[in-house]
Structure 1
Amino acid sequence: MRRLIFLVLLVLAAAGGYHLYKDKDARKLLQSVVDKATKNPLAKTPKEAADYFLKAIKDRDYERAADYCTSAYAEQLRAGAADAKKLGDAIDGLMDKMSLVKITNIGECKYVLWCMDPFPREGLAIVVSEVNDPKVKTAAGTFVLSPKILGVDRIPDQMPQNYHPSRDFIGGLYKGLPERINFVKEGEGDKVSWKLDMPCPPEVVSAVQSMKKNEGSLAREIRDLSQSINKDAAIKEDFTRFFVELVNKWAM
């Protein structure tokens, strides 16, 4: 009898596995559950919330970053996640490619790309006040931006001359966020987790809408330029001109 039960369970498991293999939606659902369990641990302290958030931003996983934010801002992070990742990945690729060739004013070009990044992966830290009392449910922190990542001592006050990128593509997912941020403790019992309690600025909402409307066109053009650096001698020799034209094409 036990052997029969084992065989039945084995057949059911095999059938379920085959269904999972054939059903893309089922596979995606299972993967999301696995990812959630392995990638998104609960933040037991404000510092952990800040660290997990920044790690997700560095990975360009804005869905995961949203899990460490309260609902208003989290909603927009999730809404813009796919489009922001496309643009961010394209910017990363061009940044890397520019470092391999001789480009006049490369620092200027990198600064413009950094400004157009939906949420820069580097140069950002969050300083958090210590919370040692488990009864405390709020904390404070500060965004700290290091210009050293750009090879400069301070962030320029304005966009370099000749560059006129779209306002919606400058700091898309963080534009308008306050320098000072709050942390709140949500949940009960073993489900308690600290989160960044940030408002949702109208600038972020507008940027998310623009990225959706753009449908990845800017990201594609940045990727095309990146791929052309080594293939097209004219672009390699006069990269800055082509880059300025690309940026200003999306001016508003």
Structure 2
Amino acid sequence: MQKAGGKMEVIQMKDVSFHYTGDVPILENVNICLNSGDYAILTGENGSGKSTFLKLLLGELEPDQGTVEIFGKKIGKADFKELKIGYVPQNSISGNKDFPATVEEVMMTGLYRPFKKRLSRKECRQKITVALTELGMESFLKRRIGELSGGQQQRVMLARVLAADPGLLILDEPTVGVDSVSLEALAKVLQKKNEEGLTILMVTHGNTKLFCGVNRHFKADEGGITE
């Protein structure tokens, strides 16, 4: 939905409540609106509802009441690539040292386009090179992803998502298990991409001081999310 001033509502949660069977509400009457170009961070202690919030946002759970929309549409897993949503989960490969794919092969999977004309191999390689270079990982192209450190893997997974040119980037605990070099690279790239117009939502309980350019701060606590 287009708003006054040319801003578009990218994420909208309206009167959202959710509880697991037999439990008290995990989230209750949550209202959040993120506009195009926002750079938002959601913090909160373990058990505060951050994970449930993400699952509702990603379409893995249905709210008991209220609505969840991204780019004006109710979200489902099949909509991710169509709506240009980039998602970087927490430690998605970490711990699997025997994972056989190379960095290049992992990057290629992020460029699969089921709803659009497929990119040529040359175009894919160009996008992969640019994304990895931005995160200082271009020299790891032929390395197996399982051989990389946790921070290096996180940089590759972010590069994989950014290579697909998302309109919305969602990150789940991107600082967990990440070394200081990778953390600085992550913060710089996120700031740069936001300045270029990318809408970003980061969910974390870690230190956020390094992340510059953030204009929206949310906190999950006792079933609510406040700004």
TM-score by length of 2: 0.31
Structure index of larger Rg: 1
Higher relative strand content? 2
Of structures 1 and 2, the one with the larger relative CO (CA 8 A, separation 6+) is 2
Higher relative helix content? 1
TM-score by length of 1: 0.29
